[in-house]
Each structure stands twice: as C-alpha cells, then as structure tokens.
C-alpha cells in the first residue's frame, strides 16, 4: 500500500558520532533525483563531538521548500534512551521508528533493531546505514540508484558492511510495509524543477569562486568554517591560496595585504572572530583597500551557542571599526542570491575600495536547498590600473574613487597609510588634508547606493501587513505567507542591509502595519530601518533561542497579529 | 648624522622626518636604501610593510611601495603581499613594541610559516612614539613614567632559534656597513629572515645608549658557523655580551 502525500517531514535523531551528517548527505540528493519531490534539509546539533541529542530534518514536498517545519511525520531515532528533546514536535500522526523499549514506554513506535549490531550475514549492522535503508525503502528508491552512491559517502574499508546494513534496513521495512505496519510514500506531483541540491555555504563558496576569489584566510570558527572548507576543497584544482592563520587579526591583515598586492581575498569567520578583526576593518576603510568578509552568525554574546543560529551580528558589522567610513552589507536569503551576491561582493569591493560583508547564519550555511542552475552571466570586474611615474594612490576625483594601482605594475609606487594621508599616501596632519580626505572617503557612499540590490517584494499590491525580513528568513516567511494564502500579507526581504535601496521606502510607507521578523532579541534591522528611513515596525517577531523560525510558529504569530484589531 | 645625502633612486626629495636628531633610525633608513640599491632592486619591486611607531615610519621617508598598516600587524600583511605576488621583495618593519608586543603572536607564527620576506625590528628597548613606556625588551630596572621594570625582557633571538627560524641576525644601527650587508644577505635569503637591530633612542632610553650598545656588543668572528643551532642558542641566551651578525640559519642558501 502507498500513502499519497504532498509533503512529508522526516526527522532523524541521534547522537554526535552516529553519522547523522552522512545520512543527510546520502539521502537528500537521492530523494531529490528519484522521487520527483523538492527537498530541503536542515540539521541541529550540539557543540560536542560525541553523544548528546542531534537531529536532521529532511523536508520533502511537491512544492519548493526553504524552511524549517516543527511537524514531524516520520521520526527515526538512533538514540538508546529518549527522544525527549523532540517531544513538543511529536503528535499522534507521527510515525516513530526506534530501537529501544525505554522510548516505547512513552510513545507507540515501530521497533527496528537499529543499535544492537545484529549479525547480518558475515558482518554486523551499522545503525546509520540501517536508517538509510529504511528511508530508501519507504520511498521505493531502487538499489540501482542507491548502490553507486555508497562508495561516495563511505570509506572503502566499510562500504560493504554499510551496503549490507542498508539492505537489511530496506528489507525489514519492505516486510513491515507488507504487514501494513508501515506505509510507503508515493508522490503525487510532477518532477521538481530545481534539481540541484546545495548548502548555503556551498552557494557562497561557488559565488566567491565566480567572483574571482583567489585567496582565503581564516581561523576556524563555526559556522563560518563550512565556507572555508568548501573553498579549500575548490582550491585543490584551482589557483586559490588557502591559509589557516594564527588568529583572526592575522586573517584580516593577510587578506588586506593580498588585495593590496592584486589578489581578490575573502575572510571567513563568525561573530566572535569578526570582533577581533574590527581594527583591520577600519584600516581597510582608511587605506581604501577592498576586502570581502563572510560572517556566519551564531547566538552570542561571547561563545554563546556555538552550533546554533541567530541574526544578532548586524550591529557589529554595521558599526565595526573605529572612525567613519563607507561599507556594504549583504545578507542573501536563497542559494541563488548567495551565489550572485557573493560574486557581486568582489566586484563591489574592487570598484568602491571598501569592505564588503556577507552576513549569513548557521541555519542558512548548513541547510541543504534545492536550487536552479546558477546564473553565470555576471562577470568578474577588476579595477586595477597600470601606474605611471607620478601615480598618487589617493588622487582626488569627482566621486571620491581613486584609481587603484598595485605594486610593480607600472612605473609608480603605491603607498597606503593608516595614518591620515595626502594624495600620495603619506602621513599628513593638517586640517585641510584631513577634511578633504575624510570627505573623499565618505563621498563614495553616494555611488555605492546607486548599485544597491533592491529588496524582494512578494505578494499582492493591496496588502495590509508587510512582513519584513532579511537574510536566511526569506524561506520561512515566504512559505508561511503561502500557507496563510491571503492578500492581506505581503513580504519584503532585504538581501542588502547597507546601504539600503531607496525603493524599499515605497513599500514601507504603503504598509498599514509593518511586522519585522528577526532572529535576535532586540530588532536590530528594525533599528536600522528607523535610522535610515524613519519608519518603525508595528510588531516585532523575534526569536533568539538558537533555532530558526518554523513555518508553524510564524504562522501562529502572524495569525495572532492579524486577529488583534 | 649624514642622512640627507642623495644617494639612490630610493631617496625622497626633502622628506619631513619626524625623528629626533641623533636617533638610530636614521642609520637604519640609510642602510636599507643602500642595501636595496646595491642589490639592484627597483623601488617598484620592493614593498615595505610597517606597523605604527617611530620605527614604523621608516617607509614614509624613502621612495618605495609602502603599506603602513596597524600597530603590530605588519607580518601578516607582508605575508599576504608575498603570497599574492611572489615577485615582490617584501620587508616587514617596525619597533620592538610593534613586533614583539602587539604583534608577538604573528612573530611566532611567521617563523613557522616561513614566508620569503625580511623582518626588520628596530629594537630601542622602549616605546618611542608613545613617549617612553617600557617595551617587551626593556631591561629589568628600566624606569619610565609608568613603571620600573620588573618583568624579564623578551629575547627575540632565542625565541627565533628555539623555533628553528630560517635566518636570525642581529645588528647595531651605528654599524651601517654591517647592517647593510646583513640586510642584503637577509633579502637574498630564501625564507623568513629576522634582523633585530639595536637602535638607540636618544630621548627616552637613557640606559641603552650608543655607548652602552658599544660596550655590550661584539661582532661574531668570520669563521663563525651559523648552522650550529645549539651554539647559536648559547650565544642567544648570553645577555651580557650581545653578538652581532648572522647568529643562526637553518639551511644553506
Ligand atoms: C592598537 C594600538 N595600540 C596602541 C597604539 C599606540 N602606540 C603607537 S606606537 C606604540 C609603541 C611604539 O613602540 P615601538 O613599537 O617600540 O616603536 P618605537 O616608537 O619605539 O620605534 C604604541 C603603544 C596603537 N597605535 N595601536
Ligand atoms: S623618540 Fe627615540 S626612537 Fe623616536 S625618533 Fe626620537 S630618538 Fe628615535
Ligand atoms: Mg621601540
């Protein structure tokens, strides 16, 4: 028997060290390619290497999915003792597959021997592979499809044992289905139009490569490290220099040195690491040397929740560095946007000679999204000039942008100075030079504004409520509004946070009520909108428990707001 | 000091120099210009990266590519420049506070990373620019408006040899010829090269004066073997007789 479904949320639960990531990476692409469904997957894990409670949610649907849902349709637990941390999300409609009777005391479940390392032929079973087998069986994905994948995800030494465990899980599940204890899932949709699966981190790395990034420095810190890892992988067969340095201060200075000498460098970090870079960001502003920084946000202050998500470093990035100088802040909401804007970040940094920040978060970086093929029409733009013998690095121009030379390309010499400097680049302390140079640097903001990326508006023009969001909340707001299915709600998503695109004002002024959705505790973007446009949200929906918004949670909050009159 | 004789294409026309008359920095500046000229390196090809301090102002006063960055951060910047364009001749330059205090972590890790660059530290055993506070190399008993030093001074030569640095030398600014030759060897050396240069600060360090350095230093003999790490370490930890010359090299060029 097959259950006809439109949408299913599968959650796999286990401890660190049980191979949840492998399950996710193995299953998600197979489900996408062989069921015709859209797939989205997101994981939550604790900051530990062994033990604890972690889970991955694989959301399979007939329409595009980009968000976390609370609902669990199928829960498979590899935990020996309890599934307590998922209790709130379990309902009578949740099918639970688990091993141990301790869980069975509280929930009705289908028991499958996942953990006992059953003798299976001449090998013992492996729990995560049995789980893979169970899901493959439920979606009737045939061995001809999954067998070739095994060697990609498992080591040679264990591949055989993994395969046998997958088959063991598969057959057990087939049998349970025949006995009508479990039901197979059957698609009712046509095939998914987006057939690429990619993490936010990979999309950013791909954008960086397409933006001509050839130099990456970092000191490891979650969740920024995932981008660093993808860049390091890409560097194996590309001319990209990867340097893991002694600290974030070094990372920032080395990247700045690289840009000065003609490279296109990126730093990857998280809020805490970025805090250490602030003096160097100010240096980049002063010497007008480009810089691209990827910041993966996680809950702070201090070490906070190292493996969870938050959007609380906007203010840090907005105000980072002493003194006043222009900057650009981007916060992509989809993989396509992440690719395009990261690529653009390099062009903007090069053109305007300012630091450009890509503000992502753990949820976005680590989740797997379906996406269209990336748009490759945007080109690498470089703005380096060949110098002549009278070259002056800070030559005064109409728009404040001085032609940028690099050492040993032309007859000039290139002098950059963190002290206030004259046009040649040498230290100068007189008031006139100071004012001239400060005005020159600030003037660049006017040109930068002309290149701002417009916010995305989705909804009917006759909306009443404007739901405003930025960065990774694109997906959850979009899905929630689709479910609410009413013309009174529209969404405005910002993927460029600074400087803001002037068009945004139109929507903000048109809104009867503005509802701001942010993953932080103080409404940082709301404050920025107030500062820039003098508008204030009527409602703040804030979440700062370390988890992303869920579609159900946001639906409840929006319904509550629309009901109160 | 004979600092204003136009010697090379590295000379700037009438630089407005902010150093005190008699400061050892003038000699270091001159030795650098001579070394680069004698190696026939063009100002376009050379980049001097400095931090902040009196020493770090050196590249302001001659005609060369300059990255005058942040206090303590010259080494990572220089490493980035060298990695991005290995054809450049890259020199990182600054004071003892700059390089051994604020930038101490970068010093340790530059040795490990071993980029092909020259690291010049003007060691005046005091913070000059901020007017006379103790530095990491100030000696016990040194008195400043802030403190009478009780902490052990940092020994950059011993640290570098302990870390098996590629090239470790020490010089005294007054001996321009020796310094120039050491600079030339260091620039030509493949890998990270440290030159710690004793540089009298005539205003804020009344202990480690020209005379004091003359009395406490000696030149390593011509037949000294810089490849013997243990011997080099012994020399490095002798705090009374301070050796000048190439103290240690971890490979033959
Ligand atoms: C981050 C930071 N901290 C402090 C300073 C102030 N400061 C400038 S130079 C300096 C010390 C200078 O001593 P040293 O590096 O030995 O150079 P010198 O002036 O003696 O040549 C200090 C503390 C600064 N510019 N930046
Ligand atoms: S303060 Fe000392 S180090 Fe600075 S210029 Fe004067 S003498 Fe030289
Ligand atoms: Mg000093």
Which domains are present in chain A?
2-193 (3.40.920.10), 197-371 (3.40.50.970), 384-451 (no CATH), 456-563 (3.40.50.920)
Distance from CA of B244 to the nearest CA of A (A): 30
Contact A39, A58 (CB under 8 A): yes
What's the whole-number mean pLDDT along residues A318-341? 98
What's the whole-number mean pLDDT along residues A465-471? 98
pLDDT in tens, B12-56: 988 999 999 999 999 999 999 999 999 999 999 999 999 999 999
Residue A392 has a pLDDT of 98
CB atoms within 10 A of CB A33: 17
Q: Tell me: pLDDT of A174 over 50.
A: yes
What is the rounded CA–CA span in Å between residue A18 and residue A128?
7
Residue closest to A268 by CA, chosen among A254, A285, A248:
A248
Q: Tell me: pLDDT of A44 over 50.
A: yes
Contact A416, B80 (CB under 8 A): no
Q: Tell me: pLDDT of A565 over 70.
A: no
φ/ψ (deg, to 5) at B250: -95, 0
Is B20 near ligand 1, meaning CB less than 6 Å away? no
pLDDT in tens, A507-538: 999 999 999 999 999 999 999 999 999 999 99
What is the rounded CA–CA span in Å between residue B240 and residue A100?
73
The token duo for A264 is 């296109």
Q: Any chain B CB within 8 A of the CB of A212? A: no
Query: How long a stretch of residues is chain B?
Result: 253
Q: How far apart are the first and last CA of chain A?
A: 48
Q: Which residues of B touch A416 (CB under 8 A)?
A: 66-68
Is B120 near ligand 1, meaning CB less than 6 Å away? no
Q: How far apart are the first and last CA of chain B?
A: 35
What is the rounded CA–CA span in Å between residue A61 and residue A120?
34
| Burial category of B95 from C-beta neighbours within 10 Å (exposed 0-12, middle 13-18, buried 19 and up) | buried
- Give this prediction's pTM: 0.96
Distance from CA of B176 to the nearest CA of A (A): 26
Q: Tell me: pLDDT of A546 over 90.
A: yes
Q: Tell me: pLDDT of B6 over 60.
A: no
Residue A189 has a pLDDT of 56
The token duo for B55 is 């020493």
What is the rounded CA–CA span in Å between residue A97 and residue A87?
14
What's the whole-number mean pLDDT along residues A257-262? 98
- Which one is predicted more confidently, A558 or A105? A558
Closest residue by CA, ligand 1 atom 9:
B53
Residue A413 DSSP code? -
Contact A81, A98 (CB under 8 A): no
Distance from CA of A261 to the nearest CA of B (A): 5
CB atoms within 10 A of CB A336: 19
Compute, in angstroms, the gap from residue A281 CA to the centroid of ligand 3.
Answer: 26
Q: Any chain A CB within 8 A of the CB of B79? A: yes
Is B125 near ligand 2, meaning CB less than 6 Å away? no
pLDDT in tens, A198-255: 999 999 999 999 999 999 999 999 999 999 999 999 999 999 999 999 999 999 999 9
Confidence of residue A375 (pLDDT cuts 50, 70, 90): confident
Residue A3 has a pLDDT of 62
Residues 6+ apart with CB under 8 A from B200: B22, B23, B24, B124, B173, B174, B208, B209, B210, B212, B213
Strands A51-61 and A7-16: antiparallel
The DSSP code sequence of A361-425 is EHHHHH-EEEEPPP---------EEEE-TT--TT---TTSPPPEEEEEEESS--EEESS-B-TTS
Work out which ligand 1 atom sits closest to the CA atom of B123.
Answer: 16
| Percent of residues, chain A, with pLDDT higher than 70 | 97
Confidence of residue B3 (pLDDT cuts 50, 70, 90): very low
Q: How far is CA A84 from CA A90, A91, A203, A454, B126, in A?
A: 10, 13, 34, 44, 61
Cβ <8 Å between A407 and B109: no
Cα three-residue angle A360-A361-A366, rounded to 5 degrees: 105
Residue B161 has a pLDDT of 98
What is the rounded CA–CA span in Å between residue B159 and residue A2?
71
Strands A215-218 and A265-270: parallel
At B50 the three-state DSSP class reads strand
Q: Which of A242, A253, A382 should be substituted to probe chain B, the one whose Cβ sees the most B Cβ atoms within 10 Å?
A: A253
| Burial category of A4 from C-beta neighbours within 10 Å (exposed 0-12, middle 13-18, buried 19 and up) | exposed
Q: Tell me: pLDDT of A97 over 90.
A: yes
Each domain of chain B, given as residue ranges in start order, spans 2-249
Q: Tell me: pLDDT of A195 over 90.
A: no
Is B118 near ligand 1, meaning CB less than 6 Å away? no
Chain centre distance of CA A434: 40
The token duo for A63 is 């329409």
Residue closest to A514 by CA, chosen among A467, A482, A447:
A467
pLDDT in tens, B120-177: 999 999 999 999 999 999 999 999 999 999 999 999 999 999 999 999 999 999 999 9
Is B97 near ligand 1, meaning CB less than 6 Å away? yes
Q: Any chain B CB within 8 A of the CB of A273? A: no
Which of B28, B130, B134, B201 for mutating ligand 2's site (highest number of atoms within 8 Å of CB)? B201
- Domain boundaries B2-249, corresponding CATH code: 3.40.50.970
Is B25 near ligand 2, meaning CB less than 6 Å away? yes
Residue A215 has a pLDDT of 98
Residue B2 has a pLDDT of 46
What is the rounded CA–CA span in Å between residue A527 and residue A521?
12
Chain centre distance of CA B235: 18
Residue closest to A244 by CA, chosen among A259, A260, A229, A223:
A229
Q: Tell me: pLDDT of A27 over 60.
A: yes
The token duo for A360 is 């992502």
Contact A489, A467 (CB under 8 A): yes
Residue A85 has a pLDDT of 86
Distance from CA of B73 to the nearest CA of A (A): 7
Q: What is the ipTM of this complex?
A: 0.97
Q: Any chain B CB within 8 A of the CB of A426? A: yes
Q: Any chain A CB within 8 A of the CB of B88? A: yes
């Amino acid at each position: 028997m097959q259950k006809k479904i439109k949408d299913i949320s599968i959650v796999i639960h286990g401890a660190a060290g049980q191979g949840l990531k492998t399950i996710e990476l193995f299953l998600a692409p197979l489900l996408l390619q062989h069921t015709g469904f859209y797939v989205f997957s997101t994981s939550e894990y604790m900051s530990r290497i062994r033990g604890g409670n972690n889970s991955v949610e694989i959301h399979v649907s007939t329409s595009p999915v980009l968000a976390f849902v609370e609902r669990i349709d199928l829960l498979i637990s590899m935990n020996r003792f309890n599934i307590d941390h998922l209790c709130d999300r379990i309902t009578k409609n949740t099918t639970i597959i688990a091993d141990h009777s301790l869980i069975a005391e509280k929930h009705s479940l289908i028991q499958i021997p996942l953990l006992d390392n059953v003798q299976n032929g001449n090998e013992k079973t492996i729990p995560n592979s049995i789980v893979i087998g169970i899901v493959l069986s439920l979606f009737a994905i045939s061995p001809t499809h999954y067998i070739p994948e095994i060697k990609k995800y498992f080591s040679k030494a264990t591949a055989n044992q993994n395969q046998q465990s997958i088959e063991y899980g598969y057959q057990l599940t087939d049998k349970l289905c025949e006995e009508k204890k479990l039901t197979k899932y059957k698609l009712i949709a046509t095939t998914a139009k987006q057939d690429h699966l990619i993490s936010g981190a990979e999309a950013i790395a791909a954008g960086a490569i397409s933006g001509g990034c050839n130099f990456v420095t970092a000191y490891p810190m979650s969740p920024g490290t995932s981008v660093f890892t993808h860049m390091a992988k890409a560097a194996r067969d590309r001319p990209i220099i990867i340097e893991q340095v002694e600290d974030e201060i070094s990372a920032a200075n080395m990247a700045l040195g690289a840009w000065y000498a003609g490279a296109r460098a990126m730093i990857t970090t998280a809020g805490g690491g970025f805090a250490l870079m602030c003096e160097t960001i100010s240096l980049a502003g002063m010497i007008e040397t480009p810089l691209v920084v990827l910041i993966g946000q996680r809950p702070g202050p201090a070490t906070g929740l190292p493996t969870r998500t938050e959007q609380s470093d906007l203010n840090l990035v907005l105000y980072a560095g002493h003194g006043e100088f222009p900057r650009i802040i981007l916060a992509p909401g989809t993989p396509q946007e992440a690719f395009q804007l990261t690529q653009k970040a390099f062009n903007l940094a090069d053109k305007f000679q300012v630091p450009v920040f890509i503000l992502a978060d753990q949820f976005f970086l680590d989740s797997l999204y379906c996406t269209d093929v990336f748009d490759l029409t945007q080109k690498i733009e470089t703005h380096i000039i060949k110098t002549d013998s009278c070259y002056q690095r800070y030559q005064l121009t109409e728009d404040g942008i001085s032609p940028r030379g690099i050492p040993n390309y032309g007859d000039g010499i290139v002098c950059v100075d963190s002290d206030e400097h004259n046009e040649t680049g040498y230290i100068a302390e007189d008031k006139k030079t100071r004012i001239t140079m400060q005005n020159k640097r600030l003037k660049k903001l006017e040109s930068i504004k002309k290149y701002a990326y417009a916010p995305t508006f989705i909804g009917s023009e006759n909306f009443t409520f404007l739901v405003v969001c930025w960065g990774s909340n694109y997906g959850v707001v979009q899905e929630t509004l689709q479910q609410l299915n009413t013309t009174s709600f529209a969404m405005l998503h910002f993927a460029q946070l600074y400087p803001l695109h002037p068009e945004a004002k139109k929507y903000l002024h048109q809104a009867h009520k503005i509802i701001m959705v942010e993953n932080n505790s103080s409404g940082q973007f709301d404050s920025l909108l107030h500062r820039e446009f003098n508008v204030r949200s009527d409602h703040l929906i804030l979440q700062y428990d370390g988890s992303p918004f869920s579609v159900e949670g946001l639906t409840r909050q929006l319904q509550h707001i629309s009901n109160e009159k | 000091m004979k600092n204003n004789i136009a010697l090379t294409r590295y000379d700037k026309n009438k630089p407005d120099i902010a150093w005190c008359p008699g400061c050892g920095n003038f000699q270091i500046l001159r030795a650098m210009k001579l070394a680069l000229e004698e190696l026939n390196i063009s100002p376009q090809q050379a980049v001097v990266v400095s931090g902040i301090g009196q020493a770090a102002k050196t590249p302001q006063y001659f005609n060369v590519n300059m990255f005058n960055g942040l206090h303590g951060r010259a080494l990572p910047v220089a490493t980035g420049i060298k990695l991005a364009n290995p054809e450049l001749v890259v020199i990182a330059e600054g004071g003892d506070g700059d390089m051994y205090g604020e930038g101490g972590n970068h010093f340790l890790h530059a040795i490990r990373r071993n980029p092909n660059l020259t690291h010049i530290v003007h060691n005046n055993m005091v913070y000059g620019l901020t007017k006379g506070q103790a530095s990491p190399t100030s000696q016990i008993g040194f008195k400043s408006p802030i403190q009478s030093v009780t902490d052990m001074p940092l020994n950059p030569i011993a640290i570098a040899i302990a870390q098996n640095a590629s090239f470790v030398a020490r010089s005294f600014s007054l001996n321009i010829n020796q310094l120039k030759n050491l600079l030339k060897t260091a620039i030509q050396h493949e890998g990270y090269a440290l030159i710690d240069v004793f540089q009298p600060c005539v205003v804020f360090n009344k202990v480690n004066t020209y005379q004091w350095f003359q009395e406490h230093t000696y030149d390593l003999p011509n037949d000294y073997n810089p490849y013997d790490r243990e011997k080099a370490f012994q020399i490095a930890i002798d705090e009374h007789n301070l050796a000048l010359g190439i103290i240690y090299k971890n490979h033959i060029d």
